Amino acid sequence: MELFAVLGIIAAVLQVTGYTVYYKLSVAGHIKPNAASWLIWFYGNAIVCISYLSIGSFSLADLLPVVCAISNIVLVVALWFKRFFGPIEPYEKRVIASDLIITMLWLFLEYSNVGSVVERSLTIPVALLIHLLLMASAVVSFIPVIKDTVSDKCAEDKRPWIIWSLAYIVWFFAELSSGASWNLVYPIVYLVLHSSVFLILIAKKPKPYC
């Protein structure tokens, strides 16, 4: 088995482990999942996954986004039925709306003749363009959870965020073997976002038992 495939599998296993730890901490009442961020990620990660895989052929190096999308959906559904989410703020609804607009734009460009016209004009694949837009939207989606992490000591726990950060580091090296620079955008952006939550948590004073 090629090295990039091994690294891809390791990254995917780490990703699932992070979700498992997060779920257990949520059920135990040690953290307070942010409703807006997780609902955005609920469909957002699936969209990013489809966008990412539509750019090139699938390989084991690309396993993480697929696993991430599936794990995210399972986690959100499980926590939703257990009523672990609070109300969504107005600005968070606008973030969700922006994601939906991007989704409709992607579908329109991908499955219409307009997409080929835009692709020739911009000289880059439409899927890559939408993928980069989704990455920008991902940055915005982290605002609610980062805000909660800063203001509430019991909002998050560093353990799952450490695991997810490690997963994206491993995936970054898996994608290095592809030779396409755009392949590295996803792991870099998500590594920065996940590690930012982790760094905020370790910079704060130890939280009380929540």
pLDDT at residue 62, as a whole number: 81
DSSP assignment of 80-95 equals HHTT---PPPHHHHHH
On the question of pLDDT at 12 being above 80, the answer is: yes
On the question of pLDDT at 55 being above 70, the answer is: no
Q: Provide the residue count of the chain.
A: 210
Average pLDDT over residues 171-175: 90
CA atoms within 13 A on the CB side of 57: 2
What's the CA gap between 107 and 136, in Å, rounded? Answer: 18
pTM score: 0.86
Question: Is the Cβ–Cβ distance between 63 and 14 less than 8 Å?
Answer: no
* Sequence-ordered alpha helix ranges (H) in 56-204: 63-81, 90-110, 113-122, 126-141, 143-151, 158-176, 185-203
On the question of pLDDT at 14 being above 80, the answer is: yes
pLDDT in tens, 20-29: 999 999 999 8
On the question of pLDDT at 67 being above 80, the answer is: yes
What is the band of 209 on the pLDDT scale with cuts at 50, 70, 90? low
pLDDT at residue 56, as a whole number: 61
pLDDT in tens, 140-170: 889 889 999 998 878 999 999 999 999 999 9
pLDDT at residue 137, as a whole number: 81
pLDDT in tens, 113-140: 776 777 677 677 776 777 777 788 888 8
pLDDT at residue 181, as a whole number: 62
Residue ranges covered by each domain of the chain: 3-203
pLDDT at residue 24, as a whole number: 95
pLDDT at residue 192, as a whole number: 96
pLDDT at residue 93, as a whole number: 85
pLDDT in tens, 70-124: 999 999 999 988 888 878 888 778 878 887 887 777 777 767 777 677 767 767 7
